[in-house]
């Protein structure tokens, strides 16, 4: 019997996402992804000073705390052909790298792990056996005694007995899809709580280099992190000084330690119980990377740590070039979105010519089901040369692997061998989750190299972090355009800007969750979320943990793709925090 399973909202993500899955018996035959908030940031930016755009664009999201700022300043710099000092590039690399490591660890433990870890089952665990397991999985991690796990178990019990699970509420505990033994569940919950403490330390890199977190400061033409050296050659008391540099080094070492001794081992340990998920959850089979982490200049694409390119139909032997400025490559469609284009909904528009005009024609809320033959999402449908593309950690890991990056090849091959799964398992829910762990290890290791380069530059007397030559609008052409891109934790992110007479004439951001979560296009091609759910079997449609596992493997951030406004574009509510 055919029926529609509706999950709204998808929990443990940023923003509002609705999934409707059409089923035949217990099998999903089609899925529909709907962003249920409306986007408006591009409208807000029109007419503003391009040098201020980052401060507005960065508020697109509170989870991706800096990547929109990076994309925005790079867009302006690209439009003006504005180069930045090497130190500024290293500072940006460090800040983006810190975002990756922080974001991925938090995603694994606090947004995704509970799809695989049964918190209530941890109450049945033997703390002594859990200690033995933990010392086998993570032999160098100090928090592994029986007493430590007994204390953790007591904390969980207090949550349960109070009738308020708090941070562990709203889980499908006891669902037969959970396969971990109680001891593995207890170990994972303990690490969940440790990660909460750990993340409070790692954000210091953003506060030192950007002034605060979330939403650190940025600067068109460089970085706001002035470096001060006194006459004796020691670090001064203001700006980025020896204390700040030492703290950054300690934070990076702390990141590496947690990733190496907890995150990586936990991923392998948990995945070993769910190897069947290496055969389901594939999306479109097409993968896109803009590339990021340049050596010195974003114009030197060959120096990027993460390469740029496209993989089509799983073919790792052929990497297709990507041109972000070519108007016949990247286009956004709105045929199934609640927007309209002046030239008609069937047309695709390159972001330089992008339009943001609301056109809600969906059912009047509250409603039972979407009319998927019409518009059904506030997300647009980006396409590369007509192809629906997956972006994110899996796309990056595959690109690095295909390009022969030695550390990636070693980590991927080790993961496949350890789990005893074929290479095809990469194209799956399990592969997507493992790829996120793999790249976290790579970036955590590389951050120390960027740090050492920055310190060496300072020791050699290079303290420049800002290029002032093109700061004044009087030096700008009357009209120009540019694209700023980065590889955000969730995937390829780019902002396109058109500047006329010193003001923003058009601004379009195409974000990772738009690539992944967008609806069908004019050709009825599903987006990656929609494609990845097809074929899933649901044990219980009222507890659709199978849907959550695959959707969460993408790490959705719908707030990046949509924003709240009322029908007249006015602010809905203002909250004063005291």
Asked if residue 568 belongs to a domain, the reply is no
Asked if residue 294 belongs to a domain, the reply is no
Question: What pLDDT, on a 0 to 100 scale, did the predictor assign at position 230?
Answer: 58
Looking at residue 347, the DSSP 8-state letter turns out to be -
**In this predicted model, what pLDDT tens digit does every residue of 502-541 receive, in sequence order?**
999 999 999 999 999 999 999 999 999 999 999 999 999 9
Residue 62: pLDDT above 50?
A: yes
Asked if residue 566 belongs to a domain, the reply is no
Token pair in block for residue 423: 């290479």
- Average pLDDT of the chain is 92
Question: What pLDDT, on a 0 to 100 scale, did the predictor assign at position 471?
Answer: 97
Looking at residue 526, the DSSP 8-state letter turns out to be P
Q: What mean pLDDT is predicted for residues 230-255?
A: 77
Which of the residues 18, 33, 61, 495 is marked catalytic? Answer: 61
Question: What pLDDT, on a 0 to 100 scale, did the predictor assign at position 16?
Answer: 87
* Nearest Cα to Cα of residue 530 among 20, 6, 5, 31: 31
Active site residue 513: yes
Q: How far apart are CA 28 and CA 571, in angstroms?
A: 39
- Work out the pLDDT band at 39, boundaries 50, 70, 90: low
The domain that contains 99 carries what CATH number?
1.10.645.10
Active site residue 490: yes
Q: Please list the residues that pair with 229 across neighbouring strands.
A: 235
Which of the residues 14, 42, 77, 282 is marked catalytic? Answer: 14
Q: How far apart are CA 469 and CA 439, in angstroms?
A: 36
Residue 178: pLDDT above 90?
A: yes
Residue 276 structural domain:
87-281+428-468
Give the pTM.
0.93
Which of the residues 308, 490, 495, 520 is marked catalytic? Answer: 490
Asked if residue 533 belongs to a domain, the reply is no
**In this predicted model, what pLDDT tens digit does every residue of 348-384 receive, in sequence order?**
999 999 999 999 999 998 899 999 999 999 999 999 9
CB 284 within 8 A of CB 427: no
CB 511 within 8 A of CB 493: yes
Active site residue 557: yes
- Work out the pLDDT band at 570, boundaries 50, 70, 90: very low
Question: What pLDDT, on a 0 to 100 scale, did the predictor assign at position 228?
Answer: 81
Token pair in block for residue 314: 């799983």
- Work out the pLDDT band at 30, boundaries 50, 70, 90: very high
Q: How far apart are CA 334 and CA 346, in angstroms?
A: 7
Which of the residues 51, 68, 308, 350 is marked catalytic? Answer: 68
The edge-to-edge listing of strands for the beta sheet with 330-333 is 348-349, 330-333, 381-384
Q: What mean pLDDT is predicted for residues 61-77?
A: 90
DSSP line for 211-267: SSSSS---BTTB-S--B-B-TTSSB-SSSB-HHHHHHHHHHHHHHHHHIIIIIHHHH
State how far the alpha carbon of 457 is from the alpha carbons of 86, 169, 248, 250, 449, in Å.
9, 49, 16, 19, 12
Pairing of strands 287-289, 309-311: antiparallel
What's the sign of the alpha-carbon dihedral 371, 545, 199, 439? Answer: negative
Asked if residue 507 belongs to a domain, the reply is no
∠ at Cα 485 (481, 486), nearest 5°?
Answer: 165
* Nearest Cα to Cα of residue 490 among 7, 96, 195: 96
- Work out the pLDDT band at 234, boundaries 50, 70, 90: very low
Q: Is the peptide bond before 201 cis (omega within 30 degrees of 0)?
A: no
Asked if residue 510 belongs to a domain, the reply is no
Residue 233: pLDDT above 90?
A: no
- Work out the pLDDT band at 446, boundaries 50, 70, 90: very high
Q: How far apart are CA 465 and CA 90, in angstroms?
A: 10
Which of the residues 138, 335, 428, 513 is marked catalytic? Answer: 513
Residues recorded for the chain: 578
Q: What mean pLDDT is predicted for residues 559-563?
A: 59
Question: What pLDDT, on a 0 to 100 scale, did the predictor assign at position 406?
Answer: 98
Q: How many domains does the chain have?
A: 1
Asked if residue 389 belongs to a domain, the reply is no
Question: What pLDDT, on a 0 to 100 scale, did the predictor assign at position 166?
Answer: 67
Q: How far apart are CA 271 and CA 435, in angstroms?
A: 12
Asked if residue 416 belongs to a domain, the reply is no
Q: How far apart are CA 337 and CA 520, in angstroms?
A: 9
Distance of CA 451 to the CA centre of its chain: 23
Mutual angle of helices 127-137 and 146-161, in 10-degree steps:
120
CB 111 within 8 A of CB 13: yes
Active site residue 560: yes
Per-residue HEC secondary structure of 96-154 comes to HHHHHHHHHHHHHHHHHHHHCCCCHHHHHCCHHHHHHHHHHHCCCCCCCCHHHHHHHHH
């Amino acid at each position: 019997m055919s029926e529609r399973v509706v999950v709204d909202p998808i929990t443990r993500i940023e923003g509002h996402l609705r999934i409707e899955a059409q089923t035949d018996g217990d099998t999903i035959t089609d899925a529909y992804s709907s962003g249920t908030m409306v986007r408006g940031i591009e409208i807000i930016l029109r007419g503003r000073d391009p040098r201020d755009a980052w401060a507005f664009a960065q508020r697109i999201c509170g989870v991706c705390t800096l990547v929109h700022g990076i994309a925005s300043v790079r867009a302006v710099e690209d439009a003006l052909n504005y180069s930045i000092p090497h130190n500024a590039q290293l500072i940006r690399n460090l800040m983006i790298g810190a975002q990756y490591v922080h974001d991925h660890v938090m995603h694994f433990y606090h947004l995704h792990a509970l799809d695989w870890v049964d918190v209530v089952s941890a109450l049945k665990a033997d703390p002594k056996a859990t200690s033995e397991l933990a010392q086998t999985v993570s032999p160098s991690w100090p928090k592994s005694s029986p007493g430590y796990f007994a204390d953790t178990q007591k904390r969980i019990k207090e949550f349960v007995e109070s009738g308020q699970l708090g941070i562990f509420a709203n889980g499908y505990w006891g669902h037969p899809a959970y396969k971990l033994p109680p001891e593995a569940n207890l170990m994972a919950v303990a690490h969940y709580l440790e990660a909460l403490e750990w993340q409070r330390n790692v954000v210091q890199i953003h506060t030192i280099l950007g002034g605060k977190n979330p939403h650190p400061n940025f600067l068109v033409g460089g970085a706001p992190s002035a470096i001060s050296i006194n006459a004796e050659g020691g670090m001064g008391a203001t700006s980025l000084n020896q204390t700040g540099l030492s703290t950054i080094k300690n934070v990076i070492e702390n990141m590496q330690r947690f990733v190496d001794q907890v995150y990586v081992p936990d991923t392998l340990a948990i995945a070993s119980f769910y190897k069947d998920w290496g055969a389901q959850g594939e999306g479109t089979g097409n993968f896109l990377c803009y590339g990021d982490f340049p050596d010195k200049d974003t114009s030197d694409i060959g120096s990027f740590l993460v390469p740029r390119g496209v993989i089509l139909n799983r073919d790792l032997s052929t990497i297709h070039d990507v041109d972000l400025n070519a108007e016949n490559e990247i286009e956004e469609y709105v045929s199934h979105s609640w927007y309209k284009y002046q030239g008609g909904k069937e047309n695709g528009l390159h972001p330089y010519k992008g339009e943001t005009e609301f056109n809600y024609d969906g059912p009047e809320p509250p409603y039972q089901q979407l009319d998927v033959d019409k518009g059904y999402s506030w997300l647009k449908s980006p396409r590369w040369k007509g192809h629906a593309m997956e972006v994110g950690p899996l796309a990056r890991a595959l690109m690095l692997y295909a390009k022969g990056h030695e550390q990636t090849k070693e980590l991927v091959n080790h993961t496949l061998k350890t789990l005893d799964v074929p290479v095809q398992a990469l194209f799956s829910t399990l592969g997507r989750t493992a790829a996120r762990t793999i790249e976290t290890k790579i970036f955590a290791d590389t951050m120390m190299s960027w740090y050492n380069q920055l310190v060496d530059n300072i020791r050699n007397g290079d303290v420049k972090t800002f290029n002032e030559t093109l700061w004044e609008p009087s030096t700008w052409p009357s009209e120009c355009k540019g694209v700023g891109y980065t590889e955000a934790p969730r995937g390829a992110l780019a902002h396109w800007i058109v500047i006329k007479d010193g003001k923003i004439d058009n601004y379009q951001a195409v974000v990772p969750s738009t690539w992944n979560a967008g609806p069908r296009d004019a050709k009825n091609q599903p987006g990656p979320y929609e494609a990845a759910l097809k074929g899933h079997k649901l044990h219980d449609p009222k507890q659709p943990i199978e849907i959550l596992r695959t959707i969460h493997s993408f790490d959705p951030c719908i707030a990046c793709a949509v924003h709240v406004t009322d029908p007249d574009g006015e602010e809905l509510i203002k909250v004063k925090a005291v």
